[in-house]
Chain A
């Protein structure tokens, strides 16, 4: 596609439910990132996929959070047993090979509200 695509764009869920967020990176981009941004705050790193390497999961805040990526394409971020503190926009980004100097393109985000 022309850019990084995320779905759903908005999700309201009840506390305790599981949610799944999807990211379609730009075709050919091997590096994929997930970030969380709470209202009025900066971006918080969650997880980074680079090709077939083991993902960098160091930013996942708890074991309720997990992410998968199929090859060099779609990624899903799953939040189990959602809590109100999980309310945020979840941003996905991709870049070509993750090499220095390559532009990182962001999607428009998935806005999650836990009620």
Chain B
């Protein structure tokens, strides 16, 4: 069964500090991995998408890494801001033989709180 596990479940950090969120998956065959940010009461917003051949991708202060061999990804947030307080969700796509479809498996997210 395809699974996506995220850790930690929740995290509290001081403003300005860095943090790293982890994602382990068992989805196969692997197509791509996405990180989403979800503010409370809002829909998820895409941060990064990485395919098999990509090891790292950045989006501003967010940097995602992918190790397709160990099936692990991380999301590193640099110089955190209060507005980074949200849930961060790892989503892995399973490649389907139809060629144009993909099935998504969602992690349950890491709840990040940035405080003064």
Binding site for B on A (CB under 8 A): 4, 31, 33, 35, 41-45, 48, 50-51, 53, 56, 91, 93, 97-101, 103-109
CB-based A-B contact count at 8 angstroms: 61
Measured CB to CB, the residues of B under 8 A from A are 31-32, 34, 36, 42-46, 49, 51, 89, 93, 95, 98, 100-109
Between B49, B51, B100, the greatest number of chain A beta carbons within 10 A of the residue's beta carbon is seen for B100
Quick one: closest B residue to A97, CB to CB? B100
Taking A43-B106, A45-B106 as contacts, is the C-beta distance between A101 and B49 under 8 angstroms? yes
Q: Which residues of B contact A48 (CB under 8 A)?
A: 101, 103
Known: A42-B109, A43-B89. A100 touches B46 (CB 8 A): no
Known interface pairs A42-B89, A104-B34. Does A99 touch B100 (Cβ–Cβ under 8 Å)?
Answer: yes
Q: Are A42 and B107 in contact (CB under 8 A)?
A: yes
Asked whether, in the complex, the Cβ of B108 is within 8 Å of the Cβ of A98, the reply is no
Q: Say which residue of B31, B45, B106 sits within 8 Å of A42 (CB atoms).
A: B106
Complex CA–CA separation, A108 to B45 (angstroms):
10
* Interfacial chain A residues near B51, Cβ < 8 Å: 100-101
Residue ID in chain B nearest A109 by CB atoms: B43
Q: Which of B100, B101, B104 is in CB contact (< 8 Å) with A104? A: B104
Q: Within the assembled complex, what's the spacing in Å between the Cα atoms of A50 and B104? A: 13
**In the complex, what residues of A have CB within 8 A of residue B34's CB?**
104
Known: A100-B31, A103-B49. A56 touches B106 (CB 8 A): no
B44 adjacent to A56 (CB under 8 Å): no
> Which residues from chain A contact B105 at a C-beta distance below 8 Å?
45
A-B contact pairs, 15 of them (CB 8 A): A33-B104, A41-B108, A42-B106, A48-B101, A53-B98, A100-B31, A100-B32, A100-B51, A100-B95, A100-B102, A103-B46, A104-B46, A106-B44, A106-B45, A107-B43
Q: Are B103 and A56 in contact (CB under 8 A)?
A: yes
Asked whether A100 lies within 8 Å of B42 as measured between CB atoms, the reply is no
Given A91-B43, A106-B43, A106-B45, verify A98-B102 contact (CB < 8 Å): yes
